[in-house]
Amino acid sequence: MLNSRLKYFTSHFPSPKDAETIPESEWEKHIRDSNSSVFELMFRTYYSRLCQFAYRSLGSTHTAEDLVQSVFFNIWKNRKQWYPQCTPSMYLFKATRNQVINHLKHKKVEKISDLVDINTISTDSNKTPESIFREMECSKTIQGLIERLPARCKLIFLMKKEDGFTYNEIAEILDISVKTVETQMGRALRYLRENLTEYS
């Protein structure tokens, strides 16, 4: 059913080209007015990022896509009453987080498995094969180290480094204090530094 919802989003709504001039701060009003082009623009802008965000806590691409599609489906279904108390992007991430939590509770999953896709290799045409290989090895090492971080620490680290969220935004999305975000980031960075001395 969810796959059919996705097909509906991508095939029944018109191209969002005309909506691209509308700022994000005005999306909610247009969506309440059933402007499907703006809704499609929001969907295309955030769908992939939300799927990646959900995937980190689920370890399942299919489940992540289903939950994110549910978020969009519920917004469109209840669009007349959609009055988010934050920006659309923040609302989407918070709604996705809630979907993930509900799913994990339903499945009685206690431990979140975070998978990471992080690219730290710089590109420089003057690099030697040896230095490129060294960077590749370092990248693999970093991936392995991040995977061994505690679940919350790992999620916060990736939200900061990959998604580019500020500490305040991470705190709001995850419903935790900014101090907790700072502490978890400090732990992650300290752990990486201590285990990457060979590559410094």
Output the pLDDT for position 1: 47
- Total-model pTM: 0.64
Output the pLDDT for position 3: 53
Which residues are within 8 A (CB) of 40 and not within 5 positions of it... i.e. 6 or more apart? 9, 10, 13, 14, 15, 16, 19
Residues 125, 139: Cα–Cα separation, whole Å:
18
Q: What is the dihedral of CA 191, 194, 198, 199, to 10 degrees?
A: 50
Output the pLDDT for position 104: 82
Output the pLDDT for position 29: 92
Q: Could you tell me the CA-to-CA distances from 183 to 158, 173, 179 in Å, in that order?
A: 14, 16, 6
Output the pLDDT for position 21: 77
Output the pLDDT for position 117: 35
Output the pLDDT for position 121: 32
Output the pLDDT for position 132: 46
Question: Residues 154, 189: contact at Cβ < 8 Å?
Answer: no
Q: From the CB of residue 93, how many other CB atoms can be counted at a distance below 10 Å?
A: 26
**Grouped pLDDT means (10 residues each) for the chain, 200 residues:** 54 57 87 90 91 88 93 93 90 91 69 36 46 56 82 89 87 91 91 72
Output the pLDDT for position 112: 38
CATH hierarchy code of domain 2-107: 1.10.1740.10
Domain 129-199 falls under CATH 3.40.50.300: no
Every domain of the chain and the residues it spans: 2-107, 129-199
Output the pLDDT for position 194: 83
Residues 101, 49: Cα–Cα separation, whole Å:
18
Token pair for residue 135?
């960077």
CA 40 to chain centre: 18
Output the pLDDT for position 62: 92
